[in-house]
Amino acid sequence: MKKHIEKDIDKVVQWLRKMVNESGTKGLIVGVSGGIDSAVVAYLIKKACPNNSIGVILPCKSNPKDKEDALAVVNGCGIDSVEVDLTQIHESLFDQITNNLMDKNLIDDKTPARLSDANLRARLRMSTIYAIANTKNYLVAGTDNAAEVYTGYFTKYGDGGVDILPIANLLKRDVYEWARVLGVPKSVLDRAPSAGLWEGQTDEKEMGTTYDMIDDLIEGKEIPQKDREVIENLHRKTEHKRKMPPAPEK
């Protein structure tokens, strides 16, 4: 099993080098959250481009444990890293957006909508990562796995705004197996998957199903009707995220 995973890892590392060479860029960059998906991608891009890869740590009102785990990842794989704290910029931007909408009577309540606030964090991260990618002439590596792609569980043009998706063929359970083989720190392996976009958020609580169920459905296995409905509904509602924006016919 381990040998088989090592071979698959090697294939993706070769593919990453090919993507860099064919694009005329010089290396690869990823946002490192302290979660398992970005940990695996950080280890992969460091293997592919040992001297031309960067991990970016982007706290935004984040739990301090996220940064601890993100540092364990960048230190564990030895990738160059940089931190940019987005907390203040997010607060000031979101305040201005809501105040100006209120002034124009376009919203009646200043309480920020939770998803709008959360997605702005993901999009500020995307803008920051691209600012560094442009400066270094690097490709942006995304961290979506097969379960997230299928359910559309990402912010459009936020964490979904990337150049390449090295682990998009892996089920969530495969990501854990790859992480063990790559040597991702135990503290990262033991965390519940979370977008970290609000206090106490976990992917499975928000989606209303489990990654095991999503993985099973993608593999064509039987799952309870209730979970099938939740997952197929997420898939349908997020079809637009997996396509180019539509335009009128000529």
Ligand X SMILES: Nc1ncnc2c1ncn2[C@@H]1O[C@H](COP(=O)(O)OP(=O)(O)OP(=O)(O)O)[C@@H](O)[C@H]1O
Ligand Y SMILES: Nc1ncnc2c1ncn2[C@@H]1O[C@H](COP(=O)(O)OP(=O)(O)OC[C@H]2O[C@@H]([n+]3cccc(C(=O)O)c3)[C@H](O)[C@@H]2O)[C@@H](O)[C@H]1O
Q: Are 47 and 13 in contact (CB under 8 A)?
A: yes
What is the nearest approach in angstroms of ligand Y to the Cβ of residue 202? 10
Quick one: the chain helix, strand, coil %, rounded to 5? 55, 10, 35
Quick check: is 148 catalytic?
yes
- Judged by CB under 6 A, the chain residues 184 through 213 that form the site for ligand Y are 195, 197, 203, 206
Cα separation, 240 vs 224, whole angstroms: 26
Taking CB under 6 A as the criterion, the residue among 42, 79, 122, 162 binding ligand Y is 122
Which of 27, 196 has the CB closer to ligand X? Answer: 196
* Residue (of 37, 12, 3) closest to 172 by Cα position: 37
Q: Sketch the per residue contact string, 143 through 162, with ligand X: x for CB under 6 A, - otherwise.
A: x---------------x---
What is the nearest approach in angstroms of ligand Y to the Cβ of residue 195? 3
Angle of helix 172-182 versus helix 2-23 axis, rounded to 10? 90
Distances (CA, A) of 179 to 41, 165, 166, 192: 9, 16, 14, 14
**Residue whose entry in the numeric block shows the structure tokens 């860099």:** 20
Quick check: is 103 catalytic?
no
3-state secondary structure at position 28: strand
The number of beta carbons lying within 10 Å of the beta carbon of residue 10 is 11
Residue 232 among known ligand-binding residues: no
- Judged by CB under 6 A, the chain residues 180 through 239 that form the site for ligand X are 193-196
Residues of the shown chain interacting with ligand X in the complex, contacts defined by CB under 6 A: 30-33, 35-38, 56-59, 62, 66, 125, 143, 159, 193-196
Residues of the shown chain interacting with ligand Y in the complex, contacts defined by CB under 6 A: 115, 118-119, 122, 153-156, 158-159, 195, 197, 203, 206, 240
Annotated binding-site ranges: 31-38, 123, 143, 148, 156, 163, 172, 194, 240-241
Active site residues: 37, 148
